[in-house]
Amino acid sequence: MDMAMCLKCDQWVSHAQPWISRPRLIWPSPELISKITLFGTLFVPIGNKGSLNENLQWRISFSVAEKVLIYSFSHTQLLCYALLKILLKEIVNEKEELKDLLCSYFLKTVMFWMSEENEISVWRPDNIIPCFMACLKRLIYCIEYSTLLHYFIPDNNLFYLRFNNKQKNTLINFLKQSRQKGIQIFSSSQTLHDYRRFQCATTRSVCEINLYKVIGSLTQYFYTSCFNTNSSVLLFTLLSHCKSELSRCIFKHSLTSSYQQMPCTLLNVNNLNNKQQYKLYKHDLSQLLVGVHSDAVSGWLILASFFYGHNNYLASIDIINYTLSKCAAESSLSQITIKQTKTLKLMSLLKKLPSAYIRFYKFRLNSVIPIELKSPHIFEPLIPISSIPFAHFLRFLCCYHLHDFKSSRYCISKLKKKVSEDSHSKEQKVGAFIYNFILLGIAFEMLGETDLARKYFRIAEQNDPNGFTSAALRLRQFC
């Protein structure tokens, strides 16, 4: 808490008189302005630094008026202000060369100006990310032109001689890079680095069910899905010979991989009441939670896709970020030798090794895959999609529906870079290669960039002469 000696003036100072009647949209209201002026102002014994009369000067303080204005903020305005303060304290000030160049008062001033210049309807909970980005954009603009006018006395420029050229350029570049990252910039903050952490609890673990019942249901599943009879025979054989560590690990891996796909192969059930929908949700979630143990990537991404399909975008992004962080360790894990595996549990190693592909079965009927990937006129029985491109695409979808378009652009750039790298890989599967470009096409189509969307759909179509994917159909819609 900041405390300072001051003198109270019951009158509204003449320097701030124009503030009362200047043109504005809605905020602050005439009633709020009248209330503020009745409080008067304060005088604080703080002089202008560098002035010959610094010890004799007093500063006009509008702290009471500012507090009243902040109390009038909507929830979204308060959150934007809080995000700006977190950005300053935990991200900007962590850079030694940027420390103390900005202060909270500057952020408060930006918020006041933005609130006065915009309609109240803009500050909606579903619009919080664009609002925050707009405030950050205004701050960058003010720094670029070394102009931040005092809210009550605009003749006073708070940024006059505030920065030298080096400081200004460094600060502008850093804030612009932060803005390009979108809301992802807060992943490095102490307060919000885990704000997307989620908890998934089920009333009963599927692992507690009698193992033979699990195998029985899996057998029925194998017969009715794309797996053949040999798959169920393999599981029974492994279960019967689970005396060795290897056979036990293969069985566990097969089991978790199967649970990973079970919700994906079930047909969409329509006309369910709320209770039935909730039971189906918990059932599918329990299956997918077992499936995440199959490897380091595919199970988690299918779970992220499941949350996306239920509009839980923040949980989905949290899982995607966690998955991508595990992918970063792929190169070191892939170098583990057979000798080194003796010191590691095989199942533990399988969990850490990323899978290069995600396999969605009965593509059009799949209840887990994002709706943007489905095509009502194409039946795709089995499509392997590259894991990392799908992760970037899924994160793009989440950011897009959160109206975080800066983060959406960032995700597309990461997707485009990864697709370019995979295009030169000899190990890339044809189906995954085609779908990489379909993912790009869908993303650009959603952003309204039809030329780029058409370009990537055409590349996908040219590599799919037999028409196994929806590339040709998606391309025709632009004709």
Question: Which H, E and C letters describe 57-69, residue by residue?
Answer: CCEEECHHHHHHH
**What is the per-residue pLDDT for 449?**
95
Quote the CA–CA distance of 74 and 125 in Å, as a whole number: 9
Architecture of domain 73-195: Orthogonal Bundle (1.10)
Amino acid residing at 80: C
Domain limits of the chain? 1-72, 73-195, 206-476
Least confident among 158-172, 330-344, 363-377, 431-445: 330-344
Quote the CA–CA distance of 291 and 296 in Å, as a whole number: 11
Tokens 């044809």 found at: 430
Would you place residue 213 in the very low, low, confident or very high pLDDT band (cuts 50, 70, 90)? very low
Per-residue tokens: 423: 């295009």
Residue 166 DSSP SS3: helix
CA 91 to chain CA centroid, nearest Å: 18
Kindly report, residue by residue over 335-351, the tens digit of the pLDDT. Answer: 444 444 444 444 444 44
In DSSP notation, 296-347 reads SSHHHHHHHHHHHHTT-HHHHHHHHHHHHHHHTTHHHHTT--HHHHTTS-HH
Amino acid residing at 479: C
Per-residue tokens: 187: 């992943």
Q: Residue 307 in contact with residue 319, Cβ under 8 Å?
A: yes
Q: Residue 12 in contact with residue 40, Cβ under 8 Å?
A: yes
Residue 185 DSSP SS3: helix
Residue 152 DSSP SS3: coil
Nearest Cα to Cα of residue 327 among 347, 299, 304, 356? 356
Kindly report, residue by residue over 378-395, the tens digit of the pLDDT. Answer: 555 556 788 899 999 999
Strands (E), 49-166: 59-61
Least confident among 6-20, 43-57, 102-116: 43-57
Kindly report, residue by residue over 114-123, the tens digit of the pLDDT. Answer: 999 999 999 9
Kindly report, residue by residue over 29-64, the tens digit of the pLDDT. Answer: 999 999 999 999 999 888 777 677 778 788 899 999
In DSSP notation, 252-273 reads HHHHHHHHHHHHHHSPP--S--
**What is the per-residue pLDDT for 360?**
56
Quote the CA–CA distance of 208 and 196 in Å, as a whole number: 29
Q: Residue 457 in contact with residue 361, Cβ under 8 Å?
A: no
Q: What CATH fold (topology level) applies to the domain 206-476?
A: 1.25.40
